[in-house]
Amino acid sequence: MKKLTLLILLLSIQLAVMAYPLKITSWQIDTDVKKLNELNISVDYVNRDTQTIIAYVPDDADYQKILSHGFMAEPMPDQAKAYADSLWEATHNSRDPMRAYYTWSEFITFMQNTATQYPDICQLIQFGSSVQNRPLYFMKISDNVTIQENEPEFRWVSSMHGDEVVGYDLLIRLIQLLTTQYPANTRIADIVNNTELWICPMLNPDGYVAHSRYNANGADLNRNFPLPIGSEHPDGMAWQPETIAVMNHGNEQSINLSSNYHGGALVANYPWDYIYPLTPDNAWFVQAALTYSTHNTEMYNSTQFPQGITNGAQWYIAEGTLQDWVYANNACMDLTVEVSNIKWPASTTLDSYWNLNQESILSFIEFIQQGVHGTVTNTSGEPLLATIDLNSTGIDIRTDPQVGDYHRMLLPGNYTLTVYAEGYQTASADVVVSAAAPAIQNFVLEPIQYTQYGGTVIDQAGNAISAANVRLYYGSSSYETQTSSLGEFEFTSIPAGYYILSISTAGNQGFYSEHFVIGADSGRQIIVLSQPLFLDDFSNGLTQWTVQSPWAVITQNSNQVLADSPSGNYSNNVTLSAALSSPVSLLNAYEAYLSFDLKYNLESGYDYLYVNASADGVTWTSLAIYTGVATTWQNFIFPLQAFEGGNLYLQFKLTSDNMVTADGVFIDNVIIRGLRTDQTVYGDSDSNWLIDCSDAENAFAYSYGDNLISGIDPSPWESFRLQSVDVDNDSLVTATDALYIYDRIEQFASFPVQSGPEIEFSDPGLSLIYSPDQVLGFTLSNPSHLKALTLNFSSPDSLAFTGLVWAPNDPDIMYNLEADNCTVSLLCLNDQFPPSDFLTLNAVTSSQFLHCSGTVNDQPVDMDIMMTGLGEEQPPMQATALLGAYPNPFSGLTRMRYYLSKAETSVTLKVFNPRGQLVRTLVDGLQNKGMHAAVFDGRNEQGKLLANGIYYCLLATPGKTCTAKLLILR
């Protein structure tokens, strides 16, 4: 007891010449922590309730420096060191040095003996040495410990601070548990069999031996790592050997989940430590921290930290921490677990710490199995080094190149994974993650095929756009060119795969697509540029913005830009915003995105520019957060898919703390783009503002009554979509429109509806003969002239087409017979023309004639085909019938044809709107038996043009009524 009293007395005398803690009373916790970080003072603990900061100083000179900056600081006895010194003094001559705490030599012996005793599951790996040349050890534990397997990798480190030793004891006990209970304990066996564990109980052996927080160079190892953004040496010291060893190990391995044990508090702490904005994986980190704290009753019931967890920066800003570095640099999810309020507690309490933490430890290790797991290989089954992109929902991860496996911990939900590997085509997959079991998603990547891609860029009027900037983004690679005077561009020898295509012009027309695939046999496309949904270059001042002073528009190099502090530096303790006065509608837009130009000068880690978006102007989502310095203009792009279908509110918000100020932010060319899905874009059937072969196929299918565009419009299409494919402007959708679209893709020109040149057609000499045996024959006097044909057949009685005699066997001849609506369409894209008698059909009907309407090439067809060779014995037609209208849809005139089966029949023919209201009477009186027609000009009784849309024609006689649908399309 006398020795212990003497030791404590000596400690108080030596405070001025050795490292020790300080108690700092603070009424401005964040401000004071910031100042201490700037002075490179190691902050150890913060209690906002008691307004207390505990910091460590390496010597009395730093203590005096703190006092000189106005801090209320007083030295504290280093209780951890005092207890460790006394424990060592009391036991070092005994057979049980330090009693329950392993001495350094005992620890080395334990690690070596364990690896020797359990060689099947243990491997002792020295991954570095300390300043004083003590080895740094990982115990690697796995069922096939010398083999790299397809399983997640877990790392646990303790005692970066040499005087925080509860974690040291816990990890020794964890090694003992895993080795002695394997394989008899099923739970332990599952962990060892399905996880590669790396356990380092002591990262700072020099500090442990000296009973000190610091390493032998006086460095706080948990302030010695590079910042994710910014300084490589935030503590002002060189990287220490222990730090370098951890970084090398992290870069060499593919650790997925890790934790580092500390002492002095009781809380599970998650990134970021160095800045206030949350990580993209914040929701996952909260759940991971709860997985640990929930099973530790003292931690979970903390009065200082709700549920025993905290975000690092919300507790206090710490720069250069291990958890920030491994998350940013290695995409490894890491927690800093403060496992004991007392840094070096009495050795008699270690059993109770193990009892409190054992379930937390095992549950946290098991947490690595949730999410999505898989491999990335090539077609030969070889593993690939690949990047797994979660498309902005979390940090990207990489595969382990030795096995090609990846393990991405995710909360339950729906995710899209995109995989990039150098030399291979990109692949994507939608994955559903459940809480019940991990999702498995393997990828087999095809080698890159090199291809060329080109096209033509036009505006909505069909005019070529020259000097447009065309960019392709492929993973981290990009390709760029400009359009020629004809609007054409070409990329040669580029990898086939998933691209983002971006096109912009000086006139601010543009195009952007995140779902753009170029195959090895890519054809050409016509890209139609759209006007922005919103654009402001601030040349008109703040007319579209609501701002908080001093936000204003200023002139820089003869250019108007938006600035947060036009007269100099921004002020301290401000939160000031510039927001759009009115929302931008994204109701009928897709592939929407925001772009703007930005440069900024902000105090790194403390002052921020937030770019916020909202669907209602109340709940805001941060698209981006900027801090630090970027002195040159940069362009930034952010997808807005989450806001499509509604309104978009936009806000730029500057926040600053109560210390250093700077020049602030400058913003220009704020643009919101989106591809409108409700606009007529000639040649574009599916509203993606691309004109390609799929549009021609859609138009051709619609010509015979089919609809290939899944999930957009049912038949009939909406008027703007019909207008888009009626490129020859004849109020019909026929094979001729499809031919024009194909032609314009290969040889650019505006469509006829845009005053472009028409295709020079020749008459193929089509004849139709309907014989007594109900066979419909098609003949061509000049078959080489046939390019496009769409014909619809009708009769007063039922009609059925059967018995197709000929069909083309050529990929460039598109042909379809639609039996339900008796429509024939044909398209010839090469010189392999059909034979002169190219088609024969069975047309089953009791009628004496068929009516045929449609187009051959670009010429309209409207004729009656009489059955030949019929004698008087043939029965007369029996039924009154309304045969429909031609053309239909129509913009000017259409002719309504109908058959009356009785003489001196009272007839009315009327047109109604969809609400059943009469808009026009075409016929009202007595008519004879036979075929009749009435012309309708699309006007009502008062002579006013009717609006575009669907109408109904009603034929009424004493014995029968018939209806037909009309579509006015101008």
For residue 774, pLDDT over 80 is answered with no
Question: 253-287 pLDDT, tens per residue?
Answer: 999 999 999 999 999 999 999 999 899 999 999 99
Residues 6+ apart with CB under 8 A from 144: none
**Residues 410, 415, 421, 424: what is their CA dihedral angle, to the nearest 10 degrees?**
150
More reliable by pLDDT, 367 or 930: 367
Catalytic residues: 338
What are the Cα distances from residue 273, in Å, to 22, 219, 318, 709, 753? Answer: 21, 18, 5, 50, 62
Q: Per the omega criterion (within 30 degrees of 0), is the bond before 412 cis?
A: no
Q: What is the pTM of this model?
A: 0.74
Structure tokens at 347: 């050795």
Beta strands in 342-468 (DSSP E): 372-378, 387-389, 397-398, 405-408, 413-420, 427-433, 439-440, 443-445, 450-458
SS3 365: helix
- In the chain, % of residues over pLDDT 70: 93
pLDDT of residue 231: 81
pLDDT of residue 152: 97
Cβ burial, residue 133 (10 Å; 0-12/13-18/19+): exposed
Question: 411-429 pLDDT, tens per residue?
Answer: 999 999 999 898 898 899 9
More reliable by pLDDT, 931 or 934: 934
For residue 870, pLDDT over 80 is answered with no
Residues 371-375 have a mean pLDDT of: 97
- In the chain, % of residues over pLDDT 90: 60
Confidence of residue 804 (pLDDT cuts 50, 70, 90): low
Confidence of residue 521 (pLDDT cuts 50, 70, 90): low
For residue 10, pLDDT over 50 is answered with no
Residues 353-375 have a mean pLDDT of: 97
Confidence of residue 837 (pLDDT cuts 50, 70, 90): low
**Helix H segments across 730-849?**
735-746
Confidence of residue 1 (pLDDT cuts 50, 70, 90): very low
For residue 726, pLDDT over 80 is answered with yes
Residues 6+ apart with CB under 8 A from 605: 227, 230, 274, 275, 317, 319, 627, 628
* CA–centroid distance for 6 within its chain: 65
Confidence of residue 802 (pLDDT cuts 50, 70, 90): low
Cβ burial, residue 769 (10 Å; 0-12/13-18/19+): middle
pLDDT of residue 811: 61
- The C-alpha atoms of residue 852 and residue 279 are separated, in whole angstroms, by 67
Confidence of residue 214 (pLDDT cuts 50, 70, 90): very high
Phi, psi dihedral angles at 647 (to 5 degrees)? -95, 155
- The C-alpha atoms of residue 487 and residue 483 are separated, in whole angstroms, by 5
For residue 761, pLDDT over 60 is answered with yes
For residue 128, pLDDT over 70 is answered with yes
Q: With beta carbons less than 8 A apart as the criterion, state whether 713 and 763 touch.
A: no
Phi, psi dihedral angles at 485 (to 5 degrees)? -65, -20
Q: State the amino acid at position 646 in one-letter form.
A: G
Q: With beta carbons less than 8 A apart as the criterion, state whether 763 and 782 touch.
A: yes
pLDDT of residue 834: 67
Phi-psi region of 51 (alpha: psi -120 to 50; beta: other; left: phi over 0): left
Q: State the amino acid at position 358 in one-letter form.
A: Q
For residue 759, pLDDT over 60 is answered with yes
Write down the residue that tokens 């991971």 correspond to.
288
pLDDT of residue 6: 37
Question: 52-109 pLDDT, tens per residue?
Answer: 999 999 888 999 999 999 899 999 998 988 898 888 888 888 878 888 899 999 999 9
Residues 782-795 have a mean pLDDT of: 87
pLDDT of residue 766: 86
Range in 128-142, 313-327, 669-683, 743-757 the model is least confident about: 743-757
Closest by CA position to 391, among listed 409, 410, 413, 418? 418
Cβ burial, residue 713 (10 Å; 0-12/13-18/19+): middle
Closest by CA position to 553, among listed 668, 472, 401, 651? 668
Q: With beta carbons less than 8 A apart as the criterion, state whether 221 and 240 touch.
A: yes
- The C-alpha atoms of residue 163 and residue 213 are separated, in whole angstroms, by 5
Q: With beta carbons less than 8 A apart as the criterion, state whether 646 and 615 touch.
A: yes
What are the Cα distances from residue 965, in Å, to 322, 720, 950? Answer: 72, 18, 7
Cβ burial, residue 847 (10 Å; 0-12/13-18/19+): buried
pLDDT of residue 523: 66
Residues 6+ apart with CB under 8 A from 120: 143, 145
Write down the residue that tokens 């039924």 correspond to.
879
Residues 530-535 have a mean pLDDT of: 94
For residue 830, pLDDT over 90 is answered with no
pLDDT of residue 397: 93
Cβ burial, residue 703 (10 Å; 0-12/13-18/19+): buried
Confidence of residue 808 (pLDDT cuts 50, 70, 90): low
* CA–centroid distance for 181 within its chain: 44
Q: With beta carbons less than 8 A apart as the criterion, state whether 80 and 164 touch.
A: yes
- The C-alpha atoms of residue 280 and residue 295 are separated, in whole angstroms, by 26
Residues 633-654 have a mean pLDDT of: 94
pLDDT of residue 208: 97
pLDDT of residue 522: 59
Confidence of residue 513 (pLDDT cuts 50, 70, 90): confident
